[in-house]
Structure 1
Amino acid sequence: MGRLNNLAYPEVTLTIDFGGSGTKGIVQIRGGKPTAFWMEAAVIEAPYTSLAFQTRNLGNAYPENTAWVGIGEDYRAVGYLARSIYSATLRLKPRKYELALYKTLAAIWVIKHKFKLSDCFDISLALLLPPGEFEDSAFLKPMLKEALTEFDTPTKKINANLVGYECFPESGGIYAMYCKNTGEAIRRKVIALVMLGYRNASVIISRRGILNRGKTAKLGMTKMVDLVIEGTSGLEAQELIEGIVAAGSEPKPQHFYHLCNSSNLRDAQIEKIISVVNSSRAEYAFTK
């Protein structure tokens, strides 16, 4: 009986959050425990011949760092490979669903490679989109269903059968847990959930248990990073983000040593960076 119940579940259940700073996911292989994974967010077109050459690194690198996918003649490097080999930058302007297709396929290949799955399997997806872009899920589902039937990867072509698809607004899970914990009282309350991500900021509001569709604005952490870049010289976003995150609310010189190469002017450069980070943080906090 237990075996019959186990077979009722798809071989792979995958949840993905397409963050501007990284693709975050939780995967569960049938019969196993949920496992978290993370991939860099970059996606870029690349020729098949070049991508195929990169497969020489498969034995020495994690699959998250060597991922690429092909749909017909459309080939894309994804994640670390896209950034390190093809100099891809974070594309924050396109709506998330436009790149979600390639990120999802790349994540599925990583999972297939890590868990040594066969080339054909059933999969159920649960995806997150910003509240202001939630309607795009209607476009994403048929794109995924068609692409999953056959797409190219660094190892072999994969044929996956989409047996389940759900799309939720970002913070929808937090809201569901809040409702569960609050119980009947949710019908008398007005609550708001605010998400501050790297790419954008979103808010959803529940009035007496009735949830609105939410709003999304381009007010993510990238706005603060842009302010720091404008106020300094020669800094790159990725390395700067690492320092800002490590520094938290108290930036110190050691958080930014890796950004300065000049030994003679290092102290002055770091002092300037810290000053700009502090002022940019304050300006970002008052952004409307």
Structure 2
Amino acid sequence: MADLIISFDPGASLSRVFFTLDSSKPELLLMEPYTALIPKQSLLSYEEDAIGVSSPENSAWIEYNQQCWGIGLICQRFFADLKLEQPKFELAIYKTLAVVGAIAQKKSLANGASIRLGILFPYGEYSDRKLFEISITGALLNFKWRGEKRSFKLVEFVCRPEGFGLLSRGRTTTHNLRSRKVAVVMIGFRNASILIMDKGAMTSGVTEDLGFHKLVSSVQRRVAGQKPLSLAAAISAAGSKINLKALLPLVRVEDALLQELEIQSIKSAISIAREEYWAVLSSYLHRYIPSDIDEIIFAGGTAHYFKSELNRLFPRPEKISCDALEYLVQQEFLSEKPKSDLSFRLTDNYGFFSYLCKNSQQVVNHA
């Protein structure tokens, strides 16, 4: 039995982690998605100058392979970007070390502890799982967390394509998975993936660079001075009808008349970008989702944003709701936070976490 079980979804808009120590109550850890290569002296100076006590996940930096990486919120001090062009598995190495370091600090986990790690990759990067396993196994044995040497043993590892957690726990239909042809459509910030399961077996999949960042970039080209994640959050909150109140955090000017003009300009940019993005996304989905599909599970924050359009795009197949799993996540982990799409974005990883806990010994042989 591993000392620590982690289920990690290294999303491009948010790093999402469920974990448990010694089969105790599961916990949720969230980290900003940024990574930045930072000079060690800059990080040491940051530690010396810090006022107050920040949570470990918000002051995360690691030293590995003679390089220092800031992870998450700390990166905003050092001109970080989302690095969407880099392979996900490469950045996931640094993010995983930071996740383990943060948990170890929060829970006083000693060096030498054993870890069972699960990670979700887009279908298009699923083939990188062996490279990641080799790299992270060695990295966990010898890295530094905020200047302190840490070492942990990876005793079990399993990687699954994004959407697997919903297949394993999210389906609410009475139909047996082994009698159905199912599509899991995962549309996140970075990309859009389609996973096809036929009678219980994964038969095909595809990933394209068609995540929400495409829509955000299109808006950025039309309006000035907007940061991608802040803009993404506002677009999402504004919804399909583009509620102007949700755009207020994006306003940069102080004059009331100019504020109105700026908001209208942003709204117009979002409206045009939505149409352009949906045209490309809907064409992609039609091209790769088989006509004989029995049911579709939509997942990811972008799918939540385009829920009505997606349902109209595929009227015939049964749309499987993950409402029960979403409600469970909201009640167990987010009850103190305002209702948002975060619970929806966490369902895939929570389903995967449940799978890891239930199948602790079997997963190793099928990773």
Q: What is the TM-score normalised by the length of structure 1?
A: 0.91
**Corresponding position of 1:4:** none
Q: What amino acid is the match of 2:202?
A: L
Q: 2:165 aligns to what SS in structure 1? A: helix
Q: 1:36 aligns with which of 21, 24, 28?
A: 28
Kept after mapping to 2: 8 A contact 1:192/1:206: yes
**Corresponding position of 2:277:** 284
1:96, CA displacement in angstroms? 0.7
**Corresponding position of 2:342:** none
Q: Give the % identical residues.
A: 30
Q: 2:62 aligns with which of 40, 65, 69?
A: 69
Structure 1, unpaired ranges of 5+: 1-8
Equivalent residues in 2 for 1:78-227 (5 A)? 78-82=71-75, 84-154=76-146, 156-177=148-169, 182=174, 185-227=176-218
Write the distance in 1 (CA, Å) between the matches of 2:9 and 2:124: 15
Cα separation, partners in 2 of 1:31 and 1:49, compared to 1, 3 Å: same
Q: 1:21 aligns to what SS in structure 2? A: coil
1:180, CA displacement in angstroms? 9.3
**Corresponding position of 1:3:** none
After superposition, give the CA deviation of every residue in 1:162-220 in whole Å (9 maximum; x if it has no partner).
1110101101121123679656x433322211000000000011223331241100010
Write the distance in 2 (CA, Å) between the matches of 1:61 and 1:244: 29
Q: Which has the larger displacement, 167-176 or 193-202?
A: 167-176
Q: What amino acid is the match of 1:36?
A: L
Kept after mapping to 2: 8 A contact 1:193/1:203: yes
Q: 2:259 aligns with which of 254, 258, 266?
A: 266
Q: 1:222 aligns to what SS in structure 2? A: helix
Q: 1:110 aligns to what SS in structure 2? A: helix
Aligned pair count reads: 278
Please tell me the root mean square deviation across aligned C-alpha atoms, in Å.
1.8
1:250 paired with 2:236, answer: no
Write the distance in 2 (CA, Å) between the matches of 1:200 and 1:230: 19
Q: 1:256 aligns to what SS in structure 2? A: helix
Kept after mapping to 1: 8 A contact 2:6/2:116: yes
Write the distance in 2 (CA, Å) between the matches of 1:189 and 1:62: 45
Q: Which has the larger displacement, 262-271 or 104-113?
A: 262-271
Q: Which has the larger displacement, 245-254 or 216-225?
A: 245-254
Q: 1:125 aligns to what SS in structure 2? A: strand
Write the distance in 1 (CA, Å) between the matches of 2:120 and 2:166: 12
- Greater relative CO, 1 or 2 (CA 8 Å, sep 6+): 2
**Corresponding position of 1:49:** 41
Q: 1:85 aligns to what SS in structure 2? A: helix
Q: What amino acid is the match of 1:45?
A: L
Q: 1:199 aligns to what SS in structure 2? A: coil
1:53, CA displacement in angstroms? 2.3
Q: What amino acid is the match of 1:255?
A: A
Kept after mapping to 1: 8 A contact 2:238/2:244: no
After superposition, give the CA deviation of every residue in 1:232-255 in whole Å (9 maximum; x if it has no partner).
222221221121122122322322
Q: What amino acid is the match of 2:212?
A: M
Write the distance in 2 (CA, Å) between the matches of 1:245 and 1:260: 16
Structure 2, unpaired ranges of 5+: 284-367
Write the distance in 2 (CA, Å) between the matches of 1:89 and 1:71: 20
Q: Which has the larger displacement, 194-203 or 86-95?
A: 86-95
Write the distance in 1 (CA, Å) between the matches of 2:123 and 2:60: 29
Kept after mapping to 2: 8 A contact 1:119/1:156: no
Kept after mapping to 2: 8 A contact 1:124/1:162: yes
Q: 1:263 aligns to what SS in structure 2? A: coil
Q: What amino acid is the match of 2:112?
A: C
**Corresponding position of 1:5:** none
Cα separation, partners in 2 of 1:111 and 1:226, compared to 1, 3 Å: same
Write the distance in 1 (CA, Å) between the matches of 2:93 and 2:193: 22
1:155, CA displacement in angstroms? 5.2
**Corresponding position of 2:227:** 236
Write the distance in 1 (CA, Å) between the matches of 2:102 and 2:139: 16
1:119, CA displacement in angstroms? 2.9
